């Protein structure tokens, strides 16, 4: 069964638009977590960025206390974030590239170019009992580097495919995803995917083999404005049914 990790970053994006710098505000992140869990989510994903544009340190502490399912901390490979993750002890961290100027994460992590540093981080996480995922483009060299790093998971960056899907010219990017998933599986790496996935392109992802989990946030939060969060999560889970059949 394909599993759903709900990225809750944009709930706090909305909160911070009005209550930035204040200890409280709405929407209530804790209430959102409870709704996602009730709706059937497998995990909760939160990205603590260097500039703290949405998720705040206090949010992570609260999440560790209240999340009863799998907590996934997205993070840059920096000393600060490593220290926070080791103290927080989420079930899994996902190491992502980070650029302060970007609106959202642009492209995958260059594991090839920083293999030594990433391997060291993976080892630290393993010693603390935390799994590691590496957010990468569907590229053979990056997959080999992920295998060399010792990371248990990769998360395939589906952004290029999702952008192409809107135009109908997505076959090339889709084949890249399929080949990457197969290559990672052959290396013994577990495969997740995410970025840009929505209610329209999700069915196409059923043809990418070996997927364990999809991490989806923006489209779910957008739909929840009209349907409510519980229904938005449940509708996404319905679209995920039948994977692998």
Catalytic residue set: 47, 74, 195
Strands 92-95 and 43-47: unpaired
Task: With CA atoms as reference, report the closest residue to 76 among 41, 40, 105, 33.
Answer: 105
Half-sphere exposure of 62 (CA within 13 A, CB side): 15
Whole-number Cα distances in Å, 176 to 100, 156, 159, 210, 219: 28, 10, 12, 14, 23
User: What distance in Å separates the CA atoms of residue 72 and residue 48, rounded to the nearest whole number?
Assistant: 11
């Amino acid at each position: 069964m394909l599993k759903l990790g709900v990225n809750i970053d944009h709930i706090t994006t909305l909160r911070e638009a009005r209550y930035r710098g204040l200890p409280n505000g709405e929407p209530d992140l804790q209430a959102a977590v409870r709704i996602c869990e009730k709706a059937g989510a497998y995990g909760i994903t939160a990205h603590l960025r260097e500039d703290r544009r949405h998720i705040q340190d206090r949010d992570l502490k609260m999440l560790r206390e209240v999340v009863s399912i799998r907590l996934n901390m997205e993070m840059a490979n920096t000393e600060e974030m490593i220290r926070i993750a080791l103290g927080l002890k989420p079930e899994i961290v996902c190491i992502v590239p980070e650029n302060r100027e970007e609106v959202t994460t642009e492209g995958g992590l260059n594991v090839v170019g920083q293999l030594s540093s990433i391997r060291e981080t993976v080892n630290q996480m393993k010693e603390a009992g935390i799994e590691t995922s590496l957010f990468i483009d569907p590229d053979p060299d990056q997959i080999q580097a992920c295998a060399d790093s010792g990371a248990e998971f990769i998360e395939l960056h589906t952004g290029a495919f999702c952008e192409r899907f809107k135009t109908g010219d997505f076959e090339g990017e889709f084949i890249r995803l399929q080949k990457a998933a197969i290559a990672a599986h052959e290396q013994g790496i577990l495969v997740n995917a995410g970025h840009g996935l929505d209610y329209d392109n999700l069915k196409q992802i059923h043809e990418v083999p070996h997927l364990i989990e999809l991490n989806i946030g923006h489209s779910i939060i957008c739909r929840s404005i009209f349907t409510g969060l519980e229904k938005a999560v449940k509708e996404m889970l319905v679209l995920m049914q039948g994977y692998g059949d």
